[in-house]
Chain A
Amino acid sequence: MTFMKKNKLIKLYKALLQIRVVELAIAKSYKDQKMRCPIHLSIGQESIPVAVSSNLTSKDEIVTAHRSHAHYIAKGGSIKSMICELYGKNNGCAKGLGGSMHLIDLKAGVTAAVPIVGSTIPIGVGKAWAKKLDKNNNIVVIYFGDGATEEGVFFESLDFASLHDLRVLFVCENNNFSVYSPLKNRQNSKRSITSISRAIGIKSVKFKDHNILKLSKFFNQSIKFIKKNSKPMLVEINTFRDLEHCGPNNDNNLGYRSVNYIKKWKLLDQVSFLENYLKKNNMINEKNIKLIYLTLQNELEKIFKFADRSKYPNKKSLGKYIYAK
């Protein structure tokens, strides 16, 4: 197993738990009908953005898609602004005009999230092109799912990033489902995302699961490689969406995923994995864990109350942001 320093491991654990706690709180409060927008929760997929972002600076940018909460939080996006956005409030990260599917925090380097599958892939490449023209060696991380690799823009964007040697990290989170449509209905069993990408001239790596330790180590090296060599890279990681595609509930009763499949992935849950790993190596004890959890929980309760008390945007906001001045 990968060897990492205690501090770094605890940091990773806190980052994983932070996302988990936020997502569970959203799922729990959703029934109050105060967050009146579609939500695509990241529970089960937290380790990928945590591993990526632990190797980025705030000047590196990310662009993402509909399931973006974990990406946003891992990159340091303000949780307060995010929850206010979900509540549709004026002090939300997009002034309540975007909702869960349009999270943004420019200071933290969360450039955009949009729900049209594949749509941010070329936009992220454009951002990386701008950096290259500006002789800036920061990178752009583009998160997308297995479904997005079926879109034309995926191929077009890989081609351009490869052609112009752009500093892009393409991260494909393959959770095997596009809503309810399994990969086998959508892609030939011989089709390989990394082979496609390699054929376009991009160094590509595939992970069969989302182990936080392996991923952190890998991204540490790959991000250095991208920055140093000005080359794009693609990483595909098999992962698991715990809850339903859209909404706060578990939908295992629908039977579109086998019991064995769910069981296998539940055993690979990375919050539990890292917690056990830290305990086993005497880096953390039950008391520490409880303290970390309660601290996160307390902060979050305050944020939810704050969001609830905050004001809705007024009618003027409708006309105010159609055109820039």
Chain B
Amino acid sequence: MQSKKFFFYEAIKKITLRNIKRNKKVLLMGLGIDDPKGVFGTTLKIHKKFRNQVFDMPTAENSMTGFALGLATSGFKPIIVHQRVEFSLLSIEQIFNQISKWHFMSGGKVSVPLVIRLIVGKGWGQGPQHSQSLETIFSHIPGLKVVAPTSPDNAYWLLNESIKDSNPIIFFEHRWLHNTYGEIKKINNYKIGKSIIEKRGNDITLISFSYSIIECIKASDFLKKNYKINCEILNLLTLKPLDKNKIIQISKKNKKILIIDNGMTEYGISSEIFTIISENNRNNFIQRIGVLNAPIPSTVSLAKYYYPEAYNIAKKVLKMFKIKERGNLNKLLRINPDQPDKSFNGPF
């Protein structure tokens, strides 16, 4: 069976469009959802054919989320899109107090099927309020499901699963993934709450999610070629509910485990995985890396210190094996630490 290749942003658009076409109750809303840029191409021109299902909204994130809750509990399936995670912080009251708890506090009488797409920024000087990776805080709240895909195939099928789900889903998209490229399989291989093994390896296990998986793969290829270290890579895909069984199961294979957090290390996703493994399996040697516990600097000069990238991952793995680096690690450094590749020139 032949599969076609698509950009990540195209995958998001394609599956959104498919759901909107199939079900009149699926609504797409957010500030600038129908503007000429179409949220990095992910919603571009959908409104032209589906005027009654796509809504540009007032700049009022908290109320917008309340409206969506009203719709979701009246038979609609709203998808809210915020161009950066940080804008959703204005709607935390509705997300944490209301949408996450309505099923519970109504004794199961109502459910809230809605999707909130949040985009995590990085690089090009986005700075303290346009590039936070806040998956952890949403994963802390019972009643929410938190999804964070890496590939176009992940994004396509998991957004489809999210739209089908009867619960509120926080769907994290990393901005640096939008222009990545890959095939979309004809069959869905994913389920909310299930992780996948990206790569098999017998020496060390890397556990990560979202964009950081790409850095893990880079580091892993480098380590295999230059140091004959074989990494296994587990892509979490869903951060809540976490695939605990798989995490415990996989931790029994390789003694060494490195967790790479897309967000801040302290009180982060990595802390949770570290705990799950250590509570269930005492024989592991676990380490973690994540972004620094500091607000994100805008200047290009500090970007290289802030994020854990292939270079940092490989360096940490070598340290865990007590292997001295042979002076070739620098190959992994980005030429421009604030750009995923030359095509990304901002502005955001």
Contact with B along A144-178 (1 / 0, CB 8 A): 00000000110011011001000000000000000
Indicate whether B62 reaches chain A with its CB closer than 8 angstroms: yes
In the complex, chain A residues 117-131 whose Cβ is within 8 Å of any chain B Cβ: 119-131
User: When the two chains form their complex, are residues B58 and A102 in contact, meaning their CB atoms are under 8 A apart?
Assistant: no
Given contacts A122-B67, A159-B58, contact A131 B106 (CB under 8 A): no
Known: A122-B65, A122-B66, A123-B69. 19 other contacts (CB 8 A): A98-B105, A104-B107, A106-B110, A121-B66, A122-B63, A124-B70, A125-B70, A126-B70, A127-B70, A130-B70, A130-B75, A153-B63, A157-B66, A321-B103, A321-B104, A322-B103, A322-B104, A323-B103, A323-B143
**Stretch from A87-95, A275-283, A302-310 forming part of the interface with B:** A87-95
User: When the two chains form their complex, are residues B110 and A114 in contact, meaning their CB atoms are under 8 A apart?
Assistant: no
User: When the two chains form their complex, are residues A153 and B62 in contact, meaning their CB atoms are under 8 A apart?
Assistant: yes
**Cα–Cα distance between A128 and B109 once the two chains are bound (Å):** 20
Q: Select one of A98, A128, A156, A163 contacting B107, CB under 8 A.
A: A98
In the complex, chain B residues 72-118 whose Cβ is within 8 Å of any chain A Cβ: 73-76, 93-94, 97-98, 102-113
Indicate whether A320 reaches chain B with its CB closer than 8 angstroms: yes
Nearest-neighbour CB distance to chain B for A315, whole angstroms, equals 15
Q: Select one of A128, A153, A160, A325 contacting B166, CB under 8 A.
A: A325
Indicate whether A15 reaches chain B with its CB closer than 8 angstroms: no
Nearest-neighbour CB distance to chain A for B143, whole angstroms, equals 6
In the complex, chain B residues 323-344 whose Cβ is within 8 Å of any chain A Cβ: none
Q: Which residues of B contact A10 (CB under 8 A)?
A: none
Main secondary structure of the interface of A (DSSP, over half): helix
Indicate whether A97 reaches chain B with its CB closer than 8 angstroms: yes
Indicate whether A73 reaches chain B with its CB closer than 8 angstroms: no
Q: Which residues of B contact A259 (CB under 8 A)?
A: none
Contact with A along B42-67 (1 / 0, CB 8 A): 00000000001000001010111111
**Cα–Cα distance between A272 and B108 once the two chains are bound (Å):** 40
User: When the two chains form their complex, are residues B58 and A156 in contact, meaning their CB atoms are under 8 A apart?
Assistant: yes
Indicate whether A274 reaches chain B with its CB closer than 8 angstroms: no
Given contacts A106-B110, A163-B58, contact A130 B105 (CB under 8 A): no
Q: Which residue of B lies closest to A101 (CB)?
A: B105
**Cα–Cα distance between A159 and B66 once the two chains are bound (Å):** 14
Q: Which residues of B contact A18 (CB under 8 A)?
A: none
**Cα–Cα distance between A131 and B70 once the two chains are bound (Å):** 10
Interface residue ranges, B against A (CB under 8 Å): 27, 52, 58, 60, 62-71, 73-76, 93-94, 97-98, 102-113, 142-143, 145, 166-167
Nearest-neighbour CB distance to chain A for B301, whole angstroms, equals 38
User: When the two chains form their complex, are residues A94 and B105 in contact, meaning their CB atoms are under 8 A apart?
Assistant: yes
Q: Which residue of B lies closest to A93 (CB)?
A: B107
User: When the two chains form their complex, are residues A152 and B62 in contact, meaning their CB atoms are under 8 A apart?
Assistant: yes
User: When the two chains form their complex, are residues B74 and A160 in contact, meaning their CB atoms are under 8 A apart?
Assistant: no
Q: Lowest 10 CB-CB distances: which A-B pairs, in order?
A: A126-B70, A122-B66, A95-B107, A324-B111, A130-B74, A156-B63, A126-B67, A156-B60, A122-B63, A324-B166
Q: Which residues of A contact B143 (CB under 8 A)?
A: 322-323
Q: Which residues of A contact B93 (CB under 8 A)?
A: 116, 119
Interface residue ranges, A against B (CB under 8 Å): 92-98, 102, 104, 106, 111-112, 114, 116, 119-131, 133-134, 152-153, 156-157, 159-160, 163, 317, 320-325
Nearest-neighbour CB distance to chain A for B27, whole angstroms, equals 8
Can you list 21 residue pairs at the A/B interface with Cβ under 8 Å?
Answer: A94-B109, A97-B104, A114-B98, A116-B93, A122-B70, A122-B94, A124-B70, A125-B66, A126-B69, A126-B70, A127-B73, A127-B74, A130-B76, A156-B64, A160-B58, A160-B60, A317-B107, A321-B107, A322-B142, A324-B111, A324-B113
**Cα–Cα distance between A93 and B63 once the two chains are bound (Å):** 27
Nearest-neighbour CB distance to chain A for B207, whole angstroms, equals 24
Q: Which residues of B contact A156 (CB under 8 A)?
A: 58, 60, 62-64
User: When the two chains form their complex, are residues A114 and B67 in contact, meaning their CB atoms are under 8 A apart?
Assistant: no
User: When the two chains form their complex, are residues A119 and B71 in contact, meaning their CB atoms are under 8 A apart?
Assistant: no
Q: Which residue of A lies closest to B102 (CB)?
A: A112
**Cα–Cα distance between A119 and B145 once the two chains are bound (Å):** 22
Q: Which residues of A contact B112 (CB under 8 A)?
A: 324
User: When the two chains form their complex, are residues A126 and B66 in contact, meaning their CB atoms are under 8 A apart?
Assistant: yes
Q: Which residues of B contact A102 (CB under 8 A)?
A: 105-106
User: When the two chains form their complex, are residues A160 and B107 in contact, meaning their CB atoms are under 8 A apart?
Assistant: no
Nearest-neighbour CB distance to chain A for B162, whole angstroms, equals 13
User: When the two chains form their complex, are residues B66 and A153 in contact, meaning their CB atoms are under 8 A apart?
Assistant: yes
User: When the two chains form their complex, are residues B66 and A116 in contact, meaning their CB atoms are under 8 A apart?
Assistant: no
Q: Which residues of B contact A126 (CB under 8 A)?
A: 66-71, 74
**Cα–Cα distance between A123 and B62 once the two chains are bound (Å):** 10
Q: Which residues of A contact B105 (CB under 8 A)?
A: 94, 97-98, 102
Q: Select one of A123, A130, A323 contacting B167, CB under 8 A.
A: A323
**Cα–Cα distance between A153 and B68 once the two chains are bound (Å):** 14
Q: Which residue of A lies closest to B52 (CB)?
A: A133
Q: Which residues of B contact A119 (CB under 8 A)?
A: 66, 93-94, 97-98
Nearest-neighbour CB distance to chain A for B262, whole angstroms, equals 24
Nearest-neighbour CB distance to chain A for B191, whole angstroms, equals 14
**Cα–Cα distance between A124 and B66 once the two chains are bound (Å):** 8
Q: Select one of B66, B103, B109, B166 contacting A123, CB under 8 A.
A: B66
